[in-house]
Amino acid sequence: MDLDPTRLTELHKGTLADTLGVRFVETAPERVVAELSFRDGLTTVGGSLHGGTLMAFADTVGAAATFLNLPAGAGTTTLESKTNFFAACRGGTVRAETTPLHRGKRTMVWQTRVTDESGRLLTLTIQTQMVI
C-alpha cells in the first residue's frame, strides 16, 4: 500500500499515537520513520521519557509498517514485542525508524531503532505482527 506520511498521521487521530504526538515523516513498505516531541506528560518522575512511551512509539511505527504491507482486506495485531533500553532522553525530538526482518503471509517482524536528536540509540524494539 502506498500512503504518504501526512495521511498515515491523520489515520491515527483519536488513538494513543495521536495522544503521544506521533508524526510520520517517511512511509514506504520497506521503511517507516516517525517523530515524537519530548514533553512533560510523557516522562517519568525523574524527568526522562517514560519507557512505556518509547515502547508505544515503537509499537505504533512497527504496526504502521505492517499496515503498509498488508494484502487487501487484512488487518494486523502485535503478537510479541521486546525492547532494549540503552539511554535516557530528557528533551528534544525522538525519531523511530523501522525496517523489516521478515515479511511473511501470516506474520511480519520489524526492528525499530529509536534515537535522540544527536542520533544516540535510546531503544531497540523487535516486534512480531500477526496478519489477520
pLDDT at residue 1 is higher than 90:
no
CATH number at residue 124: 3.10.129.10
pLDDT at residue 2 is higher than 90:
no
pLDDT 10s digits, 43-75 = 999 999 999 999 999 999 999 999 999 999 999
Residue 131 CB contacts under 8 Å (≥ 6 apart), including other chains: 66, 70, 71, 74, 75, 76, 104, 105, 106, 107, 108
pLDDT 10s digits, 67-83 = 999 999 999 999 999 99
Which pLDDT score is estimated for 79? 97
Confidence at 100, pLDDT banded by 50, 70, 90: very high
Q: Which amino acid, residue 13?
A: K
Residues of the domain holding 74: 5-131
Total number of domains in the chain: 1
- Residue 85: which of 42, 46, 48 has the closest Cα? 48
